Structure 1
Amino acid sequence: MSRASHMRILMTADTVGGVWTYSCGLASRLVASGADVTLVTIGPAARADQREMLRGAGVRLVDTDLNLEWQDPEGHDFANAERVLARMEARFQPDIVHLNSFREATLAWRAPTVLVAHSCVTSWARACRDTGWLGEPRWTRYTERVTAALNSTQAWICPSQSFHDDIVEIYRPRSPGAVIWNGIAAGNFPSRKREMIFAAGRLWDRAKNIAVLAAASPGLDWPVQVAGPAGADQATGVTWLGQLPHNALRGHLQHAAIFVSPALYEPFGLSVLEAAAAGCALVLSNIPTFRELWSGAAMLFDPEDSRALHRTLADLCAHDLERTRLQRAAYEHSLTYSLARTTSAYLKLYEGLLASDRTSSQAGEIEVRA
């Protein structure tokens, strides 16, 4: 019998960024392992192309109109979230509640909770060196809620040791937390690549630092394509593809010879993993997360130095052997971050929490009888 047989899991997710990709992959794999999974969106409803990522997976999808916590730092929507999610728990009767944001961990769940910290406003601001506004009352309240969430949940997880260390330094949670790397399903190493440089990120998000790539692009022999919302201020020298469905994004990665992430802040970087699995040579900013996850399988550069990035990309475009070596190194290292391994780690965590919950319940029953 599967380890997940008859396990009911209620999982929250937002549809903005890589959390959706993570949630769809994990939820689908949990269902394939025998679990019953309800995926509840927080924030904008899933788009048609995002729903397509779950087609045939057997995951139950429920949209809500609840605010994302970083869009509601004062907690105006908290009481509404409490009512909506209490109804969800009563309706689906989960054994485990898997939360992909902080706020919801402070609710009075009956089932054991797992909180996965994918990012936070404070660590984002620190990485961007823009922290003056964090002292405003609404962001002080946000920090208090994140701290309370980490101290309320039965287990909290980060996708990298680097981000785990940031969380510990900022919020000082009472429990130590743990690290479970994100994972994706492995594919075959692609046989052919095109002379193309590819990146993905929101131009308006300073942490993605796409402006540095735009500044480095003029004069390169190969075209540079960027997927993601560009906004009105688009630099020349780069082809802006706009928001792409996930399947289209993966198609571009299959063709691109080089993938660039100039991020100032990245708690994990699922797009980097997807690029590596597609056999792209990786050119990544020299930040703690990428050193932890991709050391030896990528070229690292100073994310504030567009000239250094230009030189690195120009050299890779010109040198076939080095580019091919990096492509193979990235692909082989991507196999470390498999969806099967990620799912197994979460199932082990869930089982431990359920066993502990049963023991606590039995102890409580004994105390009542006494």
Structure 2
Amino acid sequence: MNTRPERVLMTADAVGGVWTYALDLARALSARAVRTTLAVMGPPPTNAQRAAAESIVDLHEGAFALEWAPDPWADVESAGQWLLALERVVAPDVVHVNGFSHCALRFEAPVLMVAHSCVCTWWRACKREAAPSDWDRYRAAVRDGLAGADAIAAPTRAMLDAFLAEHDPARAHQRRARVIANAIDPTRYAPADAKEPLVLAAGRLWDEAKNVASLDAIAGDLPWDVVIAGSDVGPDGERVTFRGATSLGVLTPDEIASWMSRAAIYALPARYEPFGLSALEAALSGCALVLGDVPSLREIWGDAARYVDPDDPVALRIAIEGLIDAPTVRADLALRARRRALELARPDVMADSYLDLYSALLTRRARRAASCA
């Protein structure tokens, strides 16, 4: 029996890191003779995103609200019918869902759920309490997706454990869950010949998870300039005012890579970060990392970063000042971070891990079919 996949149907959105992850994975899968059909929902990709994707995947766009948007359920149902119709046309070997609710659909192919983040784990990390009853329908959709998925993956053990504890405390699915770290193309990032006295962060100022507002709050007390890349327009359309940092606005991938190559320190004092692609990009760019002390970032970076309590801006200031005042320590930390990043930034390893999981799903499906014959 052939248990090596040749075609994968993958869902994604063009909003954040899942888009980068999907293209890097699809590119590495293509090198292994596996073609990816990418079904993108939510806000449409930009023209630049479309151009980047066209040689890597077969791109299909659906203007459906994402499952974490306000009252998305009519769109989620319509998107499900669209995905089922797309599966009939594509005939994939595996359906790879970068989300939750659509794992409950009756696909012909086995279904992999990948938990990149979720509202309930975000809420518990950022608010220090369970998400309110407003999110009960979302919870039910995630539980239904868990029941329908043939396997589950997450980019860190911390994210996987938090996700299952939130939605599946009995751990009935633990036996078919795997940790597969995200990866990026390392050739896109490199240190400049000489680093500049800059502290860089990337994230929306209003995003409680990234917590860059705490960096902005202390920026005026630091001897170096602090620059923050990301939207300064909140979800209600109101522009957020910076107190001490300089806003770079929304940057292209090439622009953010340029800033990372120049900056000596990258700060991500996150309260919630299932993986943290921006930290990986910064480390590849030779930045010393100052990170929020959360389990996922500890898991990834070990002794290659400095950690601070996300709720303690004084500790954040002291950590950054300590690196500013100690160039030898800063250079050593940056070197350790880059070495660790080069271990992680292996799309080939990520693709091989997913191929192994896809093959396991196909093998399990074939054995079940043989036993029923």
What TM-score, normalized by structure 1, do the two folds share?
A: 0.92
Name the counterpart of 1:158: 154
1:131-164 deviations in Å (ceiling 9; x for gaps) = 476223xx11111110111121010111101111
- SS of 1:218's partner is helix
Q: Whole-Å Cα distance in 2 between the matches of residues 146 and 72 of structure 1?
A: 16
Name the counterpart of 2:236: none
Name the counterpart of 1:110: 108
Say which of 203, 209, 233 aligns to 1:207: 209
Say which of 266, 270, 273 aligns to 1:263: 270
Change in Cα spacing, 1:312 to 1:78, as seen in structure 2 (3 Å) is closer
Say which of 171, 174, 178 aligns to 2:172: 174
Name the counterpart of 1:283: 290
Contact 1:194 1:256 in 2 (8 A): yes
Contact 1:151 1:174 in 2 (8 A): no
Q: Whole-Å Cα distance in 2 between the matches of residues 24 and 320 of structure 1?
A: 37
- SS of 1:114's partner is strand
Say which of 104, 118, 121 aligns to 2:119: 121
Name the counterpart of 2:39: 40
1:25-64 deviations in Å (ceiling 9; x for gaps) = 11111112211111110111111232343354x3111111
How far has the Cα of 1:93 moved from its partner?
A: 0.9
Residue identity matched to 1:330: A
Q: Whole-Å Cα distance in 2 between the matches of residues 55 and 110 of structure 1?
A: 26
How far has the Cα of 1:72 moved from its partner?
A: 4.8
- SS of 2:311's partner is coil
- SS of 2:265's partner is strand
Contact 1:74 1:142 in 2 (8 A): no
1:67 and 2:62 aligned: no
Change in Cα spacing, 1:332 to 1:132, as seen in structure 2 (3 Å) is closer
Contact 1:225 1:238 in 2 (8 A): yes
Contact 2:222 2:317 in 1 (8 A): yes
How far has the Cα of 1:19 moved from its partner?
A: 1.1
How far has the Cα of 1:21 moved from its partner?
A: 1.2
1:184 and 2:192 aligned: no
Residue identity matched to 2:222: L
What is the correspondence of 1:1-370 to structure 2 with a 5 Å cutoff?
7-54=6-53, 56=55, 58-72=56-70, 75-129=73-127, 131=129, 134-136=132-134, 139-172=135-168, 173-176=171-174, 177-187=177-187, 190=191, 191-231=193-233, 232-337=239-344, 338-364=346-372, 366=373
The unaligned stretches of length 5 or more in structure 2 are 234-238
Residue identity matched to 1:182: N
How far has the Cα of 1:316 moved from its partner?
A: 1.3
Residue identity matched to 1:142: Y
Contact 2:120 2:130 in 1 (8 A): no
Displaced runs of 4 or more, over 6 A: none
Change in Cα spacing, 1:74 to 1:184, as seen in structure 2 (3 Å) is closer
Residue identity matched to 2:218: A
Contact 2:288 2:305 in 1 (8 A): yes
1:118-143 deviations in Å (ceiling 9; x for gaps) = 1111111111126476223xx11111
Q: Whole-Å Cα distance in 2 between the matches of residues 272 and 101 of structure 1?
A: 23
Q: Whole-Å Cα distance in 2 between the matches of residues 43 and 85 of structure 1?
A: 14
- SS of 2:39's partner is strand
Q: Whole-Å Cα distance in 1 between the matches of residues 194 and 335 of structure 2?
A: 12
How far has the Cα of 1:104 moved from its partner?
A: 0.9
Greater displacement, 247-256 / 324-333 = 247-256
1:233-256 deviations in Å (ceiling 9; x for gaps) = 222321111111222212211121
Residue identity matched to 1:147: R
Contact 1:98 1:115 in 2 (8 A): yes
What TM-score, normalized by structure 2, do the two folds share?
A: 0.92
